[in-house]
Amino acid sequence: MSNYLSETDAGQRIMRRCNELGSISVPGAGVTRLYLSQQHRSAAETIAGWMRDAGMDARIDEAGNVVGRYHSVSGGGPYLVTGSHMDSVVHAGRYDGPLGVLTSLDCVAVLHGRGRRLPFGVEVVAFADEEGTRFRTTLAGSRAITGQFGDDLLDATDADGHSVREAMVAFGLDPGAVGNAAHRPDEVIGYVELHIEQGPVLQAANLPVGVVTAISGQTRAVMRLNGAANHAGTVPMGMRKDPLLAASEIALAVERIASAYPDTVGTVGFIKAEPGLINVIPGEVSLTVDLRSQVDGIRHAAFDELGIAAGNIAARRGVEINIDTILDLHSCPCAPDFVDRIATAVEAAGVRPLRLPSGAGHDGMAMSTMTGIGMIFVRCKDGISHSPEESVTAEDVATGAATLLHFIENFQGRP
Ligand code: HGY
Ligand code: MN
Ligand code: MN
C-alpha cells in the first residue's frame, strides 16, 4: 500500500495528484492531453499504477480508457461506476476531468486502506476522450464503455488527416477490438461523477459542492461557406462573394438567436478562412457552432432558426453554404434517486444541498444510455474552466471527496 494515505487531508492528496497528472501534457500554457497521444499513454499508465496501489485491478481498455475495479466483498461485481475523463481541451486547466478521476480513486484508496469491501464493486474509469478535441469525437471513451463506439468514430480524422483507426494502431490498440470495451448492462448498477462546476453558481451561493439535476443537451455543427477567392486590390466591394463576411454575419446571428431563447447559449469557437492571405479575398470559410439548452425542443428550434438565417445570409452574399451537424446530444436528466442520495451525502458533509443543471457536457450523457447517473459539482474559482486559470481549493476538494465517499458507501441496489 503506497504512502498515499499518509497525507491525511483528502483535498491535499487529490490536488497533489491533479498537479502531477497536469504535468503530463504537451508543452505550453495549461494542460493539453489529447486522445491517443503520447501524453494519453503516459497519463493512462500513471493512473493505472495509482489504481493498483489502491487495491484495484486496472487495465487500459480497447478504446484507451483506464478501467480500475475494486471488487465486491464476494469478489467481482456488479459495479457502481465512477470517474471522469483524462483528456483535455488545448491549454486546459488541471481539474476538468482529472478531479473526478482522482477523487474517485481516492475514495477507493480510503476503502482499501480500511480493508473495507462493499456488497457491490466500485469501478473507476478515466475516460480517454470526452472533449473530442483531437478528432471531434465527443464522448468517445464513454461511448466505447456503453457499446456505442461506431465506425463514425473510427473514421474521424484529426487536423493532420490521421484517423482514429490509424491513431489507435499507433497507440497499440486494435480498432477491430474496440467493441470489447463495452460493459454488459448487468455489470453496471449506476454511474456517479464528480466534476468542477465550470460555472459561477456555487461561488455565488458560497457553497463548496452542489447536486447536479440534469446535463444540458448540445448541438454542434460545422458550416462551410464557398465564395470566390480573388484579388484584394482589384475587385470592387459590390462585386465580391466574400464567405468571411457571410460567416461574420452568421456568428452574430448565433449570438442574436441564442440570446432570444431561454437558458440557451451559442458559441462560434472556430473560424478559418482559406487561403488566409492578407491580399486575397477568402474563397472558403469554415466555422463551428455549439448550441446548448436545458430543453431539447428549445435547442432544436434555435438551431432550425439559425439554419434559415445562415441560408439567407449566404444567398444574399452569393456564397454557397453547407451545414454539417456533427453532434446532437439530448438533454440528460440525472436519476431522481441519485439526485436525492447525493443531496443526502452533501448534507452529511455539512453543506446545504443546492440543485443545479450542468451547461457543460459530461460522460454521464453516454453512461445514461446504460444506467442511472448522478453528478456532484465542486466549486471552481470564478467558474473559470477550459483555461490554465482553472482553480479549486483543497478544502472544497475534500468536501467533494467526503460527499462522493458517502454516496458510494451508502449506495444500495437500485429500487
Ligand atoms: O464542452 C463541454 O461541454 C465539455 O467540456 N466537453
Ligand atoms: Mn471540458
Ligand atoms: Mn469535463
**Which three cell numbers mark 181?**
470495451
User: Whose alpha carbon is nearest atom 6 of ligand 1?
Assistant: 131
According to the model, what pLDDT value does residue 151 have? 87
Tens-digit pLDDT profile for residues 115-151: 999 999 999 999 999 999 999 999 999 999 999 999 8
Task: Give the closest residue (by CA) to ligand 1 atom 4.
Answer: 361
Q: How far is the CA of 313 from the centre of ligand 2 (A)?
A: 32
How far does CA 354 lie from the centroid of its chain? 22
Name the DSSP class of 326: E
Please report the DSSP string for 112-137 in residue order.
HHTT---SSEEEEEEES-SS-TTTS-
Rounded distance, CA 213 to CA 203, Å? 18
The pLDDT score that the predictor gives to residue 2 is 59
CB-count burial class (<10 Å; 0-12, 13-18, 19+) for 117: middle
Q: How many CB atoms lie within 10 A of CB 335?
A: 18
Pick out the chain residues at pLDDT < 50: 1
Residue 50 region, left (φ>0) first, then alpha (ψ -120 to 50), else beta? alpha
Sort strands 79-85 and 188-196 into parallel, antiparallel or unpaired: parallel
| AA letter at 342 | I
Element (H, E) at 212: strand 209-215
Dihedral class, residue 235 (left if φ above 0, else alpha if ψ from -120 to 50, else beta): beta
The secondary element (H helix, E strand) that includes residue 315 is: helix 296-316
Give the pTM: 0.92
Closest ligand 1 atom, CA of 198? Answer: 5
The pLDDT value given to residue 176: 96
Contact 318, 350 (CB under 8 A): no
In this prediction, residue 413 carries a pLDDT of 63
Distance CA 107, CA 38 (A): 28
Strands 264-267 and 284-293, bridge-based pairing: antiparallel
Q: Say how many Å lie between the CA of residue 78 and the centre of ligand 2.
A: 29
> What ligand has the least distance to the C-alpha of 220?
1
Evaluate whether 374 touches 338 at the Cβ level (below 8 Å).
yes
Exposed/middle/buried for 328, CB within 10 Å: 0-12, 13-18, 19+? middle
Consult the annotation and say whether 230 binds a ligand.
no
The per-residue pLDDT for 228 is: 85
- Distance in Å, CA 359 to ligand 1 centroid: 8
- pLDDT given for residue 141 in this prediction: 98
**Which residues line the pocket of ligand 1, CB cutoff 6 A?**
130-131, 360-361
